[in-house]
Structures are given as structure tokens and as C-alpha cells.
Amino acid sequence: MMSKQYDVVIVGAGVAGLKAASVLAKYDLKIAIIDENPSLGGQYLRTLPENFKDRLLKFKTAVKKEGLKLIEGLKNSNVEIIKNSTVIGVYEGDKILFDKEGRSDLIYYKKLIISTGVREKYFPFLGWDLPGVFSLGAVQVFLKSNGVLPAEEIVLAGTGPFLYAVAYEILKAGGKVKGIYELKKFKDQIVFSKGLLNFPAKLVEAFVYLEEILSNNVPIKYGWGVLKAEGDDSVERVFVGKMGQDGRVIEKSVKSIETELLAIGFGFVPNLEIARSAGINIVYNEALGGWVVETDDKLITSNENIYASGEITGVGGAEKSQIEGELSALVLLDSLNLLDNSGKSKIQKLVKKRKKAIKYSKYFNTVFSVPLEFYKNIEDNTVICRCENISMKKIKEAIEVGPSDMNFIKTFTRAGMGNCQGRTCGPIIENIIKSLEGKTPKPATMRKPIKPTLIGNLKKFYEERIKSS
């Protein structure tokens, strides 16, 4: 049985991937878009359950409106949609191996666009591994995928605009937000607020969220952080306090809040595993969110047949992703000599629009990063690697006895060897090293499979597709 071959494969069906697919669909090409979710759209355009649809869709950004139209358009296009599929790795010979519903399969590409988006970033504290401590995104998934509020009363803490977006959705769904505790001080956010004046759509979005939050009398505390979560079987109370510049709490400000659920979020980090498995270069740029895929202005990576679009080139939101999805597709088409002069002109316009969008990325990632001083003051008994139950004390011991290297720390402590393969603890440990040693370590060496898969699936694939050919 021959594996399928495509002119273009797009990995990731979020805003960037959808936009790229919709542009390419107008041409006589064999195209596939592959994503691990059951429906197109990623987190931003996640299909809403009927019981929350009317309430949560009252306000839609221009990007969201277009994205929903793109999803409908792709259903009747020449693009093959491969859903519920987890990419195991990109291999030499332009091959992508993936798992779909309990089976492994292989496809070939001539050109590849990687649009794998972001995941949430965390700052650890005592009790953050308790049941009932959710990420902001997990609360959103409960609402958008299941039509369920995970709790009636919720405390939100962390830093960044996502706090307000999730608070808005909780309130619209009928829940109660007991407080929003933003780690960054209000004065620190003035630069970001001024930056929003250059992005009217984002400014409108911010006003919509704040109007709902303030009209429900939700307290907002700036410069406050979570110190500890407590409870017997799950979180029952959280301790919050005003934070000093050195990352230490101002003791007299500490208070406890009874709550059914604590939702935390500290920004985002690009999902680079698939890009790294393809062997393309990554580069560290703190203003773009940390480690990102290295591209030129036209989103061509170190491999001329592979393009990167969306959050993996710099964390910057849906508008940037939409621009880059279209840009990557047009540049790809130009490489195949399929563009006319108007298409070539559109590329130049999008390159300029992208530069403007990157300015927002730099505002966002600079203002809402957790200060390095805070990492120095994480308590020794705080869990850093949740999968392997590795404490801050163990991480510091590893840094003291060996090189400040992610591979060494992984070997010495087992941090990053669990089911998530360092996706949660990796960025935390990088920042701990940076705070203590003053340098940014490279991510740990990555091996395929990049996500857990069953040996039985691979064995069956080998017997059916490789051995028999």
C-alpha cells in the first residue's frame, strides 16, 4: 500500500494554518491539513457547544469571524482534512509519521507549512499541582468543548490579557470570578496600553472584556501573585499577596480566598517540537516569546521547502497568525511560479503588515513576562516537574554540580522525562537557569516520537506498510 503524497502539507489547523489552506485551495494542488483536534480552528476558533454558543459568541473579533468562514469554506474545498491525528515526527525524505485513532500512518510532502501554535506557560508555587488548579486554557476548553463550567466560583491569577478573556467567558457562561490577580503592576502595563492604540481591534476587544468584568464587580489586583494553593483532595483556598520587585511577597498584604477552582496563566510559549523534528533552525528571542522558529521576512525557514507561520515565529495573537498564514501560502505559491503580479505585490504588503504585528508581539512578551528575580525565590519544596515530582531543590542541586544545561538537568533529575516530555517544566527550568546563571540554555535534545505513541501502532504500521512493500 503506497503512502499518500501531497504537494503541500500544513501541520496545524489554527488561524494560521486555516488561512494558508484557504489561499492554497484556490490552486490546482494536492493539499492536506493535519491537526490533533476533532475539529478545525485550534483553541481560538474552537467549536462551541449549543448551550453556550449564544452567550459566548455575542462578541466576535474580525479575525474570529473570518476564521469561522474559512472553516466552512474548507469543508467543501480540495483540501484533505486529517483530524484527530497526532504527529509523531517529521523525517528525512519529506515524510510525516502520525497516529490517527489508534493507527500509525505516513504521508509525503513536497512543501510543508508548520503552524503549530502555542501552549501556556507557567510559574510554579506551592500547591500548583493540586486538583482544582487549572490553566486558563483548560477552563476555556471546558467551556468551549464541553459546555460546562468547571466550578461556580473561580479565582484567576497570572499575567497577561488572556486573564481578562477567560474571565469574560466565565462570566458570560454564568460563573462567578472571585478576583483577578495580575502579577504585573499597573504602571508596568502603561507601555502595553499605549501600544494598543496602534491596534484598534485589540483595543476594542480589551474594552469589551473590561466592561463585562467591571459591571460584575470583579476585583482586579495589580502587582499581586499566588503564593500557595491548599486543600485536602483538591484546592479549597488560595493565598495571594502583593509582590515586591525582588519577587518576594509583602507579608502584611497576604490574604486567603476560599474558592472551588484556581485558574492560572503566565503567557505562552511556541510549540516547536514538530519544527525541531523537521531539523529546521530555532533561535532565542525574548521579545518574541523565547525560542522561536528562525525565518526570513517571507517565513522561509532554514529548509527552503519548509515554511513557518503563526505563533511559532513569535507569540503575537490571532491577527499576526492570520497575516502569516496568508503570507506563507503566497510565498510558497511564488516558489512554484503560480503567482501573477498582483499576488507578488500582495506578498510585499503582507511583509509590511507582519512587521507591524510583530511590534504588538514585542509589547506583549516584554510587558507580561515574569521577572527573572521571581524564579530565584521559588521555595525549595515547590514542585517544578509535575510528571516526575521534581522539586526546586533538586533543580538547584543539578545546576550547582553540573553544567547549566537542559540535557544534564534532565539526566540528573529526570525532569522532563514524564508524559509531557518537558512541555510544562522545560520553559520554567530554562528561566530558573537564566535567573541563577545569567544565560539562556538551549532546549533539551529532542528525540522522536515527539509525543507518546503505542509500540503496537508502530509495529502494525511496519508490518502493513513497510515490511509488505
Digit-coded pLDDT (tens) for 403-445: 889 999 999 999 999 989 999 999 999 999 999 999 999 999 9
Least-confidence region, from 123-132, 304-313, 344-353, 364-373: 364-373
* Residue 351 main-chain phi, psi, to 5 deg: -60, -40
Instruction: Give the integer Cα–Cα distance in Å for 230 and 81.
Output: 44
Q: Three cell numbers at 422?
A: 518537558
Instruction: Report the C-alpha gap between 167 and 164 in whole angstroms.
Output: 5
Residue 105: count other Cβ atoms within 10 Å of its Cβ.
19
Provide the pLDDT for residue 1. Answer: 45
Local structure of 220: helix, strand or coil:
strand
- Per the CB < 8 A criterion, the answer to whether 335 and 307 are in contact is no
Neighbours of 223 (CB within 10 A): 19
At residue 256, the pLDDT reads 97
More confident residue, 140 or 193: 140
Contact 309, 113 (CB under 8 A): yes
Radius of gyration of the chain (CA): 22
Considering the chain, what percentage of its residues have pLDDT values greater than 90? Answer: 78
Half-sphere exposure of 192 (CA within 13 A, CB side): 22
State the DSSP code for 310: G
| Cis previous bond, 449, omega within 30 | yes
Which pLDDT score, from 0 to 100, does residue 86 have?
Answer: 95
Instruction: Check pLDDT > 60 for residue 57.
Output: no
Q: Which amino acid type is present at position 335?
A: S
Contact 275, 282 (CB under 8 A): yes
The Cβ of residue 145 has, within 10 Å, a number of other Cβ atoms equal to 16
Confidence of residue 299 (pLDDT cuts 50, 70, 90): very high
Specify the pairing of strand 282-285 against strand 133-135: unpaired
| Whole-number Å distance between alpha carbons of 444 and 431 | 14
The pLDDT tens digits for 307-336 are: 999 999 999 999 999 999 999 999 999 999
C-beta separation of 298 from 314 below 8 A = no
Q: Cell 530554562 appears where?
A: 430
Q: Is the pLDDT of residue 349 over 50?
A: yes
CA atoms within 13 A on the CB side of 419: 4
CA 205 to chain centre: 20
* pLDDT given at position 371: 92
According to the model, what pLDDT value does residue 452 have?
86
> 329 with 19: CB under 8 angstroms?
yes
Which amino acid, 465?
R
| Nearest Cα residue to 102 out of 467, 456, 362, 463 | 456
CB 270 within 8 A of CB 443: no
pLDDT per position as a tens digit, 212-268: 999 999 999 999 999 999 999 999 999 999 999 888 899 999 999 999 999 999 999
Q: Cell 493539499 appears where?
A: 31
pLDDT at 63 over 70: yes
Beta-ladder partners of 268: 120
* CB neighbourhood size of 346 (10 A): 17
Structure letter (DSSP) for residue 188 = G
Q: Tell me, what's the pLDDT at 201? A: 81
pLDDT grade for 197, boundaries at 50, 70 and 90: confident
Beta strand 79-82 with 85-91: parallel, antiparallel or unpaired? unpaired
Measured in residues, the chain has a length of: 469
Q: Are 176 and 219 in contact (CB under 8 A)?
A: no
Examine the pLDDT at 56 and tell me if it is beyond 80.
no
Question: What pLDDT is stored for residue 58 in this prediction?
Answer: 59
Calculate the dihedral angle through the C-alpha atoms of 439, 120, 382, 178, rounding to the nearest 10 degrees. 130
Cα 362–chain centre separation: 16
Q: How many C-beta atoms surround the C-beta of residue 171 within 10 A?
A: 19
**Domains along the chain with CATH numbers:** 4-119+269-365 (3.50.50.60), 122-266 (3.50.50.60), 378-469 (1.10.10.1100)
